[in-house]
Amino acid sequence: MTDATIRPRHRDCEAIMECRDNLAFMRALPAESMQLIVTSPPYNIGKAYERRQPLHYYVAQQAEVIAECVRLLNPRGSLCWQVGNHVQDGEIFPLDMVLYPVFREHGLHLRNRIVWHFEHGLHCSKRLSGRYETILWFTKGKDYTFNLDAIRVPPKYPGKKHFKGPNAGRLSCNPLGKNPGDVWIFPNVKNNHVEKTIHPCQFPVELVERLVLALTNPGDRVFDPYMGVGSSVIAALKHGRIGYGCDIVPEYVEIAWQRVHALRAGALKTRPMHRPVYVPKNSGVTLGYQNGQPPAAHHATSSD
């Protein structure tokens, strides 16, 4: 990204990113044009890029954006809404619970409530520290794209065989790997993460990559209506999809373009999808399987 040979270019036939309010951006796009809409909206907690609103007002605003997303979604497409908690006077309001009725009103089908677990965050003194957020994965219809083989992870016991019955002696696991399940462990993007920019809450690219691979095919369109520094667009481009996104903060959009140019130049560092999470040496913690990797596997350093 710091490579002086990377020149800003704000047009790219596979990346369409604008500094624009998402409703205005979406209203200019044709119905049913997106195979995957994946995003993490503001949580209404007073971050630099948002203004705190009464919760019912926030939900009404989200409902307007969600309605427009549903219009843009292909009949075989998926909508993934990644959220944490809204917090008010020390009380938490899990936004997936708060927003679920809005998605249901549109007749969307919930396929998974994925728990994204991470190790780092604020340390709370009056409640347990929050160490997960969720992704609500909805499909528009009953017939939808789901490429499980594209996201399989290594099995815990790769050589394990049936020991009795008609399959005795045959492998008991799928040789292509196992279903990754609905609890995903990816480090969140804090200061020592290789993808960190000035944005306070970026998606790890590997998290969106898993959704892109499972829920779209090459050439499909992926859209993030709250794109921040463009992590969803990067994940889409990395896998031959077309990335759309918008954000209202000019600096974030500029960084998103710099990241896309760096990706095109082969200079963008992202954390590899199958790298196990870091467990400190001598931590006293017994190492278990991490993202499908056995304990003896290489563990990344905290600067990865």
Q: Which residue ranges make up the site for ligand SAM (CB under 6 A)?
A: 21-22, 40-42, 49-50, 199, 201-203, 226-229, 231, 246-249, 252
State which residue, 28 or 168, has the beta carbon closest to ligand SAM: 28
Dig out the tokens for 262 from the structure. Answer: 């760096």
Shortest spacing between CB 248 and ligand SAM, in angstroms: 4
Distance of CA 174 to the CA centre of its chain: 26
Shortest spacing between CB 240 and ligand SAM, in angstroms: 20
The residue nearest ligand SAM at its CB is: 228
Closest CA to 37 of 245, 229, 249: 245
Between CA 288 and CA 304 the distance in angstroms is 20
Between CA 86 and CA 103 the distance in angstroms is 18
State which residue, 53 or 291, has the beta carbon closest to ligand SAM: 53
Indicate the length of the chain as a whole number: 304
Shortest spacing between CB 104 and ligand SAM, in angstroms: 23
Dig out the tokens for 9 from the structure. Answer: 């270019």
State which residue, 117 or 162, has the beta carbon closest to ligand SAM: 117
State which residue, 232 or 293, has the beta carbon closest to ligand SAM: 232
Q: Which ranges constitute the DSSP H helices of the chain?
A: 22-27, 55-72, 95-105, 205-215, 231-238, 250-264
State which residue, 216 or 270, has the beta carbon closest to ligand SAM: 270
Shortest spacing between CB 284 and ligand SAM, in angstroms: 34
State which residue, 41 or 187, has the beta carbon closest to ligand SAM: 41
Shortest spacing between CB 33 and ligand SAM, in angstroms: 18
State which residue, 140 or 259, has the beta carbon closest to ligand SAM: 259
Beta bridge partners, 166, equal none
Shortest spacing between CB 187 and ligand SAM, in angstroms: 14
Between CA 225 and CA 155 the distance in angstroms is 35
Closest CA to 243 of 211, 201, 288, 269: 211
Shortest spacing between CB 11 and ligand SAM, in angstroms: 20
State which residue, 54 or 295, has the beta carbon closest to ligand SAM: 54
Report the SS3 class of residue 70.
Answer: helix
228 neighbors 197 (Cβ within 8 angstroms): no
Shortest spacing between CB 257 and ligand SAM, in angstroms: 13
What is the bridge-based pairing of β-strands 132-139 and 91-94? unpaired
Mention every residue, 6+ apart, whose C-beta is less than 8 A from residue 172. Answer: 160, 161, 162
